[in-house]
Amino acid sequence: MLTLLLLLFGGVLYSLADRYLIEHVEVKITAEETPVAAANNSASDTEQVEQDDWNYSSEDTTIQISKVETGSGSDKITYYVADVQLEQANLLQSAFAKNAFGRNITENTSTIAAANNAIFAINGDYYGFRDDGVIIRNGTLYRDEPTRDALALLSDGTMKSYNEEQLSSSDLLAEGVTQTYSFGPILVKDGTVVNDFDKVVIDTNFGNRSIQGSNPRTGIGMIAPNHYVFIVVDGRKENYSKGMTLSEFAQVFKDLGATEAYNLDGGGSSTMYFMGRVVNNPQGKQQERGVSDILYIAE
């Protein structure tokens, strides 16, 4: 009887480890399979580049990062806003941890960013924690399991939210979608803040629940084509930042002029990287958590 119980217990442990911990590489990405190299135009000898710890400006890329603090004491919130303007939509790229697509493959945002010569990066949707969603990255379809409201970035520099079950991956690619992110929820759509967040549950995996409440956040918004705003909110650090609710997060995007905005993976994953350093305070203790993917702009 004891042997049977041990076997059953061991089987459960292995099943959980296989589900949440063991790497499952589905596609190993090579340089020839991604258009990143074509988009990474190095500055020429004559190009004027200006940069400091909070700003970057070249002929085709402008990045301005601001640290914002509101409230005080237990109600204090600290967040970082990156206003990004690009000449070409393909300057905004995505990259996978360890240059591979699959389950449970993770690296720190800063590690992935450095490997791709990124000037700026944020964490993505942590697609590798789940096995559903529609995942298109740099114009390639990697997963086609429609489930939830998602985000699409297009080759014309626009972004839109959509329901994965109502728009096929083939239609997305034909429309010029270069990246999709399957997390959510939608924060701002057609210039209007979405308010019904009370019952939002992103995953049905073990241990997941509603993501409403004050938490660290990562999100992306669009002010105009090729004009984006990225926000990373710190949280879970007393007297520094408690985090934001989804309603608060959505309103910040709206106040900044975003006509579209979408929530990406947050909590311990929330990380903003700029010019070789992590700008924010991940997990409230300057400690990054490994993620599956990033959104980035290369030098």
- Res 20: pLDDT: 52
Inform me whether the pLDDT recorded for 33 exceeds 70: no
- Res 159: pLDDT: 98
pLDDT digits (tens, 9 = 90+) for 7-32: 555 544 444 455 556 788 888 887 55
What value does the mean pLDDT of the chain take?
88
Query: Across residues 117-128, what is the average pLDDT?
Result: 97
- Res 286: pLDDT: 94
Cα distance between residue 188 and residue 222, in whole Å: 10
- Res 111: pLDDT: 98
Q: Which residue has the higher pLDDT, 31 or 56?
A: 56
How does residue 37 score in pLDDT terms, banded at 50, 70 and 90?
very low
Inform me whether the pLDDT recorded for 216 exceeds 50: yes
Query: Across residues 147-174, what is the average pLDDT?
Result: 97
Distance from the Cα of residue 216 to its chain's centroid: 13
How does residue 199 score in pLDDT terms, banded at 50, 70 and 90?
low
- Res 1: pLDDT: 63
pLDDT digits (tens, 9 = 90+) for 224-273: 999 999 999 999 999 999 999 999 999 999 999 999 999 999 999 999 99
| Strand, coil or helix: 215 | strand
| Strand, coil or helix: 43 | coil
Inform me whether the pLDDT recorded for 49 exceeds 60: yes
Sorted by where each begins, the domain ranges of the chain are 2-298
CB neighbour class for 57 (10 Å; exposed up to 12, middle 13-18, buried from 19): middle
- Res 212: pLDDT: 73
Of 84-88, 113-117, 210-214, the range with the lowest mean pLDDT is 210-214
Tokens 């720190």 correspond to: 108
Q: Which of 264, 285, 52 is nearest to 161 (CA)?
A: 264
Contact present, 47 and 58 (Cβ < 8 Å) = yes
Inform me whether the pLDDT recorded for 156 exceeds 50: yes
Q: Which of 295, 292, 269, 294 is nearest to 100 (CA)?
A: 292
Contact present, 145 and 131 (Cβ < 8 Å) = yes
How does residue 218 score in pLDDT terms, banded at 50, 70 and 90?
very high
* 106 half-sphere exposure, CB direction, 13 A CA radius: 18
* 157 half-sphere exposure, CB direction, 13 A CA radius: 14
Burial 185-208 (b: 16+ CB within 10 A, else e): bbbbbeeebbeebeebebbeeeee
